Chain A
Amino acid sequence: MLGSVLLLVALLWYSVNLRQQDETNFLESLLLRVTGPTQAGFDRVIVGAADIWGHYLYLVDTAEDNRQLTEENRTLRAVLTQSDEVRLENERLRLLLDFKETQEIDTLPARVIAEDASSWFRTVTIDKGSVQGVVEGMSVVAAEGVVGRVVRSRPRFARVLLLTDASSAVASLLQDNRARGVCRGKGEYLVFDFVLRQEEVTVGDRVVTSGMGGIFPKGLVVGNVKSVDRQEFGLFQVIEVAPTVDFSHLEEVLVMLRGPQ
């Protein structure tokens, strides 16, 4: 009987409230006032606990993950660097191969393994020698141009006198107006000697080997004119040439397998 009354009251309450369902009634308001702060308090506690767990207690695994990821990152970086190195070497070798295919003379690729022990001289040691057919006097080139000539040959190694050494001289000519001269090394650049004053030379002109002297074949790039000084007196101009080959980063070269003519 009591149950039926309660059920009826509840139904009536429900049906009465259906009309004001868009408004907050007194009971709901009271409930919200009580439960809201409580829920908020619990929420803060739970969030705080989760934060402590996630950021401090659970960090035992995170530290391990972090170590693994750092290790992985380091390994990947090493692989990436190695891959970059291989890619760059590949590009350089491709250039050298393209250049090799344009040459009529047989060439032998070699790797630069050491530099001169002194700062006053410009020589390098390559990993090919008389066993591979490298003899004194052979010219050495790179894709960018002339490197130098072989001055010492041992069974497995050879030393190359670079174009920029003070004792190096190459018979050359200007590609445009064919003015002849001799390019001499000056340490980091070259001077183009014996070009007559009346020859028209401008900065940027390309200098190539003339083929005279029998060491270097004709037409190999030596460098570009860097400065021209046509002095008031004298027979010749003072011309500085910037070599096209970057001698400070020389890694692979080609030895032209033909002795001096």
Chain B
Amino acid sequence: MTPEIDKPAKTVAVASGKGGTGKTTVSLNLAKVFGSDVQLLDCDVEEPNDHLFLDGRPEQQEIVAIKVPDVDDTLCDGCGECGRFCEYSAIVSFGAKAIVFPEMCHGCGGCMMVCPKKAISEVDRRIGVVETIQSGEITLIQGRLDVGVAMAPPLIREVKSRLRGGIPAILDAPPGTSCPVIATLRGTDFVVLVTEPTPFGLHDLELAVEMVREIGIPFGVVVNRVGIGDDRVREFCAMENIPILLEIPDDRRIAEAYSRGKLIVDALPEYTGLFKSLIGKIM
């Protein structure tokens, strides 16, 4: 079911437990200083914003749909096999004809396979679009989930299926530790966990570390806004033997640049070396 990544040179995912720690900042600045062709995937399909920081218009827009069941009432005898199979209660039947809730369906096709009467066929349900934007050496591929759709993973997999082999890729993940994040991280070679030195940052970093260890991908930590909060993120990383790959200082000018849609390395060239050193460590 899951499209395998057509192995590019190296794929690095940028994730975090907590939202707003700087995933987009790190992803974009890495891509910008990369120095050769690089793919940037905005997998935060509920609110893609990498494009705001790059020149270039969408060159290509493709509609993404998932397959949802369509029941032929004349064939359905209400045996209930479909409902028993469905993990998400997207289809239910018990003596009465099957009822479908397309918004709950993950598109696995299982109900169709188990239906003894062959009463189920599949119809397309649009969930969003995938757009490609070329900006200098950066090829941005972004997913944009339709408003009202709660099904991010299939769209994220579509975004990832457009990765081209042979070109390194940076994947900007959604925040958290749930399915959309797993869908983003799966198949990548390395995960950068961005956090901030606050109790909230540490709490969610611990969850993210647990998640990445469970999936079994090598990872390291980037601490953003160093200077605020306390030292506990550093202590946690030392204790857990997790490499701190980069520390970005709490610099008001960075926030100002970000608020104007400017990248750190463009507005504040003195930070270029910092991001280049990160690339040297992981890609």
Asked if A and B are interacting partners, one says no
